[in-house]
Amino acid sequence: MEYEEEGLTRDGLKEEYHHAIARKIILLTVCVLGIVLFVGLLSLSNYEGVGLKETYEIIWNHILGNEYPSKSLFWWADRYIWNTAFPHALAAIIAGAALAICGTMMQSMMVNPLADPYSTGISSGACFGAICAIVVGVSFSSVTGEMGIVTNAFIGAMVPALLIVFLAQRIHMTPATLILLGTAISYFFNSMITYLMVTTDADTLQSAYMWQVGSLDGMSWDSLPIMAVVTVIGSAIVMLLSSKLNVMSLGENSAISLGVDVERFRLLCLVLMAVMTAAIVSFTGIIGFIGLVAPHMVRLVIGSDNRFVAPISMAAGALLLLAADYIAFQFSDIPVGVVMSVIGSPVFFLIILWQTRKAGAIY
């Protein structure tokens, strides 16, 4: 055959391929640097006289074990940074990373760019559990109090997931079926939530609603271990599965022909995603948009190869949530879920618009 252009040599191809990989690593580095910056910003105490430079200084001193004179401004700033700001920032990083990678997995698995971790009704299940605890004081386990809300939310989140898994053994599940089932389950739980919220008093109503909206307030070192462990293990598994996810995104028929047992794999992903999302959401409430937007932002820059999109979306998700948290922090009392939605929706809007101008499809 005659070629229209000068073809690549074998080595040329390999070179270009490795270049593309290098680009992806650069993006990852940028995200990580951004994270470090925002951790510093978040720790910015707004104590007068403690600026960004001093903040990093305080963190450094703490790591070295140096102490400040008791009850002085820097002493308080040090306490604040380590007891409040740091766990808060870490929670943002963990939650952002976990939600982003769940979003990546969900979108590949459903072959749907608009899927996010909440598409299967997990969020409304979790809300229902939490609100049962908050409004009615009913606990699904023997745990009460603050942790009671968390365990309730976790159990509530797993209900839709397990229901879908159970149904999947019996009927043929396409991605469309999954999402529709998830929507139906959402409707059900939402109606129960509305009922509970409507019949309660203003205070409880506000607590319940605040929980739903999603916030990182009150994150302490105690809440972190579970979130961290689940995220680390879960994302490691996802990254191992990332080439299979690539195959899934080719469509069901192609995936089967390439050796992926689509139905079983989808169930595995579903359970994995449910556990990760539930673990995060039980502590933070429903923070939306990260699972939806972070993977897209990453794909814009480096394409759709999940072997890279998965880990880098974690960094991007963490950065995104940190940024949103910082903005929420400036306007104190606004929960981070609200800020996330406010910046998430126009960003998403723009992504779609910008891409449709470039090419026919979304990318």
Partner 1 sequence: MEKKTVTIIAAVVVVAIVVVAAVLVGFGGNGGDDSSGDSEIASQLQIRGNANDDYTIDDKDMEILEDVMAGERSISDYPLADVNNDGNVDETDKQLLQDLIDRKDGTTVYVLCLDVNGEPTTVSCTYPLRDVVPYGTNIQLPTLYANGGQYVAGYFVSSYETAESSISDSAVDLGGSQRQISDAAWKNFTALDANTEGGLGALLVDYSGIAQITDVRAADLEAAEIPMIIYSSADAISEITTVLTLGFLFGGDCETIGVEYAQKSWDIINQIDEAVGGLSDDDKCSYICCTMYIYICENDSTFNSSASTAGGLPYYAVNQDFADTYTGDGSTKMQSVEALSNFTDVGAILNNRSMDWGLDAAGIEDLVIDTWDHDNKGVSSTMYFKGFEDRLVYINNLLPGAVKVAYMAHAMYGDDFSREWADGVLQDFIDMGTAPLDGQTLDTILAYIDHDLYMEVTA
Partner 2 sequence: MQIRIDNVEFSYTSVPVLNDISLDIDGPAFVSILGPNGVGKSTLIHCINKILQPTSGSVFIDGKDVKETSIKELAKQIGYVPYSANDSFPLTVVDTVMMGRHPHSKWKSLDNDLDVVYDTLKMLGISHLAMRQFNELSAGQHQKVMLARGLVQEPKILLLDEPTSNLDIRHQLDVTKMLKRLSAERGILIIMISHDINIAAKYADNVILMFQGKIFDVGTPSEVITEDNLRTVYGVESRVIDDEGRPHVILRDALPMDERINPSAVMAGIRERRARDRSSESQQVES
Q: Which lies closer to partner 2 via its Cβ, residue 9 or residue 70?
A: 9
Full DSSP string of 252-269: HHHHHHTT--HHHHHHHH
C-alpha triplet 86, 332, 99: angle, nearest 5°: 55
Q: Which lies closer to partner 1 via its Cβ, residue 4 or residue 333?
A: 333
11 touches partner 1 (CB under 8 A): no
The site that binds partner 2 (CB under 8 A) totals a number of residues, namely 43
Question: Which residues are CB-contacts of 61 (< 8 A; sequence separation ≥ 6)?
Answer: 68, 78
**What is the C-alpha separation between 199 and 197, in angstroms, rounded?**
6
337, 288 in Cβ contact below 8 A?
Answer: yes
284 touches partner 2 (CB under 8 A): no
Q: 23-28: list long-range contacts, CB under 8 Å, 24+ apart.
A: 23/301, 23/302, 24/302, 24/308, 24/312, 27/298, 27/301, 27/302, 27/312, 28/311, 28/312, 28/315
Binding window for partner 2 (CB under 8 A); candidates: 81-89, 110-118, 122-130, 269-277: 110-118
46 touches partner 1 (CB under 8 A): yes
Q: Which lies closer to partner 2 via its Cβ, residue 16 or residue 57?
A: 16
Identified binder of partner 1 from the candidate list 4, 5, 6, 48, rule CB under 8 A = 48
- Residue 277, both tokens: 């999302």
Identified binder of partner 1 from the candidate list 27, 32, 62, 79, rule CB under 8 A = 79
Identified binder of partner 2 from the candidate list 84, 200, 207, 304, rule CB under 8 A = 304
200 touches partner 1 (CB under 8 A): yes
- Residue 182, both tokens: 């998830």
260 touches partner 2 (CB under 8 A): yes
| Least distance in angstroms from the C-beta of 255 to partner 2 | 9
42, 85 in Cβ contact below 8 A?
Answer: yes
Select from 107, 117, 150, 90 the least CA-distant residue to 272.
117
Binding window for partner 2 (CB under 8 A); candidates: 103-111, 124-132, 190-198, 270-278: 103-111
Report the half-sphere exposure of 301 (CA within 13 A, side-chain side). 19
313, 298 in Cβ contact below 8 A?
Answer: yes
| Least distance in angstroms from the C-beta of 19 to partner 2 | 9
313 touches partner 2 (CB under 8 A): no
Q: For residue 241, report the phi and psi dihedrals to the nearest 5 degrees.
A: -85, 0
**What is the C-alpha separation between 148 and 282, in angstroms, rounded?**
10
250 touches partner 2 (CB under 8 A): yes
* Binding site partner of 253, from partner 2, partner 1, none, Cβ cut-off 5-8 A by kind: partner 2
Site for partner 2, rule CB under 8 A: 1, 3-8, 10, 13-14, 16-17, 20, 107-108, 111-113, 243-244, 246-247, 249-254, 256-261, 299, 303-305, 359-363
Site for partner 1, rule CB under 8 A: 45-48, 70-73, 75-76, 79-80, 83-84, 88, 199-203, 206, 217-218, 220, 329, 332-333
